[in-house]
C-alpha cells in the first residue's frame, strides 16, 4: 500500500482491491459515467479521494444488487443510496427472475462475503426460508457447481457462497424451542453437503420447531447412537451423490414410538427400505417433519 499511495489519494489498483473489482471495470466506470478519480498531484496520475471512493462503493453495491450500471451510476453521482432518476423506479427488495440470481453470483465471483450475506438476508426477511431457497439459492448453487465442473475453476466461489448463505440463515431466525422428542438432521456418511439441512433447520425455526443439526458426514454408528440416546421423533438424512446414498444407514434403532426416517437429496437409490419417506424439496421436508410431530403417520417412498 505504501508504494501505491505516495500522494493524497488511492491508485486504481488500490481501489480495485478494496472494492473487489477489476481495474478495467473502474476505468470503464470513469470513461462511461464519470466516476473517476478527482484528486491530482503535479507529476503523477490522478488519485481517488474519499468522496470518489464513497461514490464507487455505492456504484458497486447497487450493481451487485441487480441495478443497471447506468442507474447505479446516476445514483452514485447524486449521492443517493438508491436510483431516484425520473422514470426509474427504485430497485425492489427482490428483482424478478434471474436478475437477483445474477447479482448474487457476481458477489460470489468477487468473493464479497458481505454482499452475499446481505443479499441473502434481505431475501430471507422479505420472503422466508423456503421461497429464498427455491427461487434464489438453489439456482445460484447449481450455477456455481456447474461452473466448477465445466471449467475446473471457481471452487473458491462455491465455498464462499455456501459460507455466506449459512451465515445469513443463522442470522435470520433465533433458535426455536425443541419438541419433546427431537428432530435430527444429518448428512449420510461421507456426504459433506450440509447446507440443505441448514436451510431446513432455518425453515423449521421459522415455524417454531427447533432441531439438532448433526452436520456433514455423520458415520452410521454415530447417527444410530444419537437416535438411541435421544429417542428422536424424526431423522432427516441427506445424500447428494449416489456413492453416499447407502441405505444401510437408514436401519435405525427401534424407538417407542418409532423414529420416522426421511431422506432428501438426489443420492438415494430409487427403491428405499419400507417405512422410509423421501422428500424432493424444502417445503415437503418441513411439512413432513411437522406432520410427524403432530402425530400423523407418513407414507413410505414409492
CATH of the domain at 181: 3.40.50.280
Residues 181 and 166 in one domain: no
Q: Which are the contacts of 95, defined by CB distance < 8 A and separation ≥ 6?
A: 65, 66, 103
Based on the fold, state whether residues 196 and 282 are members of the same structural domain. Answer: yes
Tally of domains within the chain:
3
Average pLDDT score, the chain? 83
Give domain status of residue 51, yes or no.
yes
Q: What is the pLDDT of residues 4-50, one digit of tens each?
A: 444 457 888 888 888 777 788 888 888 888 888 886 655 557 788 88
Last residue of a domain, one of 145, 171, 197: 171
Whole-number pLDDT of residue 88? 36
Residue 57's domain comprises 12-78
Residue 260: what pLDDT? 92
pTM of the model: 0.69
| Residue 199 sits in the same domain as residue 276 | yes
Question: Residue 72 is part of a domain; what is its CATH number?
Answer: 1.10.1660.10
Question: Would you mind telling me the total number of residues written for the chain in this entry?
Answer: 302
Cell of 42: 503535479
Query: Quick check: is 278 in a domain?
Result: yes
Percentage of the chain surpassing pLDDT 90? 41
Segment 240-245 shows an average pLDDT of 91
- Clarify whether residues 221 and 181 are in a common domain: yes
> Of residues 300 and 249, which shows the higher confidence score?
249
Q: Enumerate the H helices of 187-219 as residue ranges.
A: 195-206
Task: Say yes or no: 160 and 215 in one domain.
Answer: no
Q: Where do we find the cell 458415520? A: 219
Whether the per-residue pLDDT at 97 is higher than 60: the answer is no
Amino acid at each position: 500500500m505504501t508504494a501505491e499511495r505516495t500522494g493524497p489519494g488511492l491508485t486504481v489498483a488500490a481501489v480495485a482491491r478494496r472494492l473487489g473489482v477489476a481495474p478495467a471495470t473502474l476505468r470503464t466506470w470513469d470513461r462511461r459515467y464519470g466516476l473517476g478519480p478527482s484528486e491530482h498531484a503535479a507529476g503523477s496520475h490522478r488519485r481517488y479521494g474519499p468522496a470518489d471512493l464513497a461514490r464507487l462503493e455505492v456504484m458497486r453495491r447497487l450493481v451487485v444488487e441487480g441495478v443497471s450500471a447506468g442507474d447505479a451510476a446516476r445514483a452514485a453521482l447524486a449521492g443517493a443510496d438508491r436510483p431516484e432518476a425520473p422514470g426509474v423506479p427504485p430497485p425492489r427488495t427482490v428483482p424478478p427472475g434471474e436478475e437477483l440470481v445474477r447479482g448474487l453470483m457476481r458477489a460470489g465471483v468477487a468473493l464479497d462475503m458481505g454482499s452475499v450475506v446481505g443479499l441473502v438476508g434481505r431475501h430471507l426477511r422479505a420472503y422466508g426460508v423456503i421461497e429464498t431457497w427455491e427461487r434464489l439459492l438453489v439456482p445460484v448453487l447449481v450455477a456455481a457447481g456447474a461452473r466448477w465442473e465445466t471449467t475446473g475453476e471457481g471452487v473458491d466461489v462455491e465455498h464462499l457462497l455456501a459460507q455466506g448463505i449459512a451465515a445469513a440463515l443463522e442470522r435470520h431466525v433465533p433458535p426455536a424451542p425443541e419438541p419433546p422428542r427431537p428432530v435430527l438432521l444429518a448428512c449420510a456418511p461421507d456426504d459433506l453437503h450440509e447446507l440443505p439441512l441448514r436451510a431446513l433447520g432455518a425453515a423449521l425455526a421459522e415455524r417454531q420447531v427447533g432441531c439438532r443439526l448433526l452436520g456433514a458426514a455423520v458415520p452410521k454408528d454415530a447417527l444410530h447412537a444419537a437416535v438411541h440416546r435421544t429417542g428422536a421423533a424424526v431423522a432427516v438424512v441427506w445424500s447428494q451423490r449416489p456413492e453416499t446414498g447407502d441405505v444401510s444407514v437408514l436401519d435405525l434403532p427401534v424407538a417407542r414410538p418409532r423414529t420416522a426416517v426421511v431422506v432428501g437429496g438426489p443420492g438415494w437409490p430409487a427403491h428405499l427400505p419400507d417405512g422410509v419417506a423421501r422428500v424432493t424439496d424444502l417445503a415437503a421436508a418441513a411439512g413432513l417433519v411437522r406432520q410427524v410431530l403432530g402425530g400423523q403417520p407418513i407414507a413410505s417412498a414409492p
